[in-house]
Amino acid sequence: MRKLSVLFLLSFSSYLFSQKTSVRNLENIISKSYFTGNMSNENTIVQLTELYYLSKNEGYIPGQISSLYEQARLFCDQGKFKKSLEKIAEGIHLAQQQEDYNMLCRLLLVYQKNLIRLDKPLNSKNMLAKSEEYNKLNTLPADKQINDIYILLAKARLMVDAENITKDMSPVINLKRQAYSEALKIDNSNKYKKYTVIFTLESLAWTLALSRKTSEADQLTKKIDELLKSYPDEHLLIENFVIKGAVNNLAGDYKTGLKYLFMAKDESIKREDSYRLYEIYPSISAAFGQIGDFKKSTYYSWGYNKLADSLTLEKGKIDENFIHTINAAVAQKKDNNLPIVIISLIGIFAGILFFVIRKYRNYLGGKRKINSLQNSDNAVSSDIEIENTKRLIKLAKEDINAFYVEFNKIYPHFYQSLKEQFSELNMADIRFCSLIKMNFEIKEIAAYTNTSIRSVESRRYRILKKMELKNQDELYVILSKVH
């Protein structure tokens, strides 16, 4: 019995350590991205999705909450409101269980931003007040300091209309000046320091540009340029291009303004950030109108209308009852969790007992099991492949980023092998190929990736060109051989 206990403790502790190490490594990679600014939207989403599922598998709730918050923030910026709200709802539920007031505050700030973009100012005002309540309960000074800054920006956001302007811009500017001033006080060791400084500075510069304080806004963009040299975050780079485009347009230098706006447009297309394009196209259309190129002005005006229609459809996906459910979850009082705790403890002990019994049985019957498995390798492999395929199809329908993570686990050499054979393929191309490998049709890929059929066909055409293939049949043959 003593040997059995020792065996159990060694096996169980080794298992937990290896699992937690993998999550910690992933958390460190994401944290390092915040320090350096080397974050690409596509890779970040995949890393966050992987962090979520790894954390969920081992019951590491802080990792789940962190992943959900970051995903909600990114989806909100892209105008993918339904996805953002889903992450927020789950994140709030988990954070309430953990009494994590810091993450509750941050999740509500993202929720407030979603509500403003969904034209729900009253709800967003209530959520902002609630986020302040949570931050007062925050016992982590460094995190509280960061949250206070974003609360200031959220207050400024409530003062303006859909065009980010109001009759008196002075209070808005003052709040943003205060936010930038507070951002400079953040300790340099804080991973959010550089991002927050640039973010608040850009928010201030944008409001100054809209207030026609172009000289000061121009000076701030130059300061931002210097900061971005050592912190090349994609989202912040695009925002600075937009601000510089606006500043030059207001100053009457429309050609220079268009240069920066087109840089912002091109980067936004790469990121598939339709909401940013929705904000950029009117400025491009107006600039072309000012220089007398009415054909291009009309083209981008139509483009804006198309994006506006798409955004309306995205907003239409939101079930009002879902928003009411989130609001109710935020408003509900804390319940007595004692029964839940007792049940959880019973579950933990039952799990440990089951683990011990299973380990002991495996230990006694190891050789017999190995022999049995060797005799049925082909059958098992076939069953596993079928189950893997079913799981991948289900994930593609529910969460395309989760599909990419799971596909990479099942086919760990697929990405690298394809890249070695066809060096011109980028990560987006290879992920598209993973969908083709699953024999998904064009309509299915369009639905799963939330893009148009035309975009999917264009992507496939570009991949065929890069791989120097004649037709899609050759593509299917090649991908079927890559494992």
Q: What are the DSSP calls for 356-423, one per residue?
A: HHHHHHHHHTHHHHHHHHHHTHHHHHHHHHHHHHHHHHHHHHH-HHHHHHHHHHHSTTHHHHHHHH-T
Q: Output the tens digit of pLDDT for each of the chain's 483 residues.
A: 444 444 443 343 344 444 455 788 878 878 888 888 776 666 777 888 888 988 888 889 999 999 999 999 988 988 889 999 999 999 999 999 999 999 999 999 999 999 998 888 778 889 999 999 999 999 999 999 999 999 999 999 999 887 788 889 999 999 999 999 999 999 999 989 999 999 999 999 999 999 999 999 999 999 999 999 999 998 899 999 999 999 999 989 999 999 999 999 999 888 878 888 988 999 999 999 999 999 999 999 999 999 888 888 888 888 889 999 999 999 875 544 444 444 554 555 555 555 545 554 554 444 444 444 444 454 455 667 778 888 888 888 888 888 888 888 888 888 888 888 888 888 888 889 999 988 888 888 988 888 888 888 888 888 898 888 888 888 888 888 876
Q: Is 151 exposed, middle or buried (0-12, 13-18, 19+ CB in 10 A)?
A: buried
Residue 408 pLDDT? 85
Tell me how far apart the alpha carbons of residues 18 and 11 are, in angstroms, rounded to a whole number.
11
Tokens of 389: 């395929």
- Per domain, the residue ranges of the chain are 1-139, 389-481
The reply to whether 1-139 and 389-481 are identical in fold is: no
**Cα atoms found within 13 Å of the Cα of residue 108, Cβ hemisphere only:** 30
Q: What is the CATH number of domain 389-481?
A: 1.10.10
Tell me how far apart the alpha carbons of residues 307 and 300 are, in angstroms, rounded to a whole number.
10
CATH of 1-139, one of 1.25.40.10, 3.40.50.2020, 1.10.645.10, 3.40.1260.10: 1.25.40.10
Q: Is 61 exposed, middle or buried (0-12, 13-18, 19+ CB in 10 A)?
A: middle
Backbone angles phi, psi at 159, to 5 degrees: -85, -15
Segments in 317-365 forming alpha helices (H): 320-331, 338-364
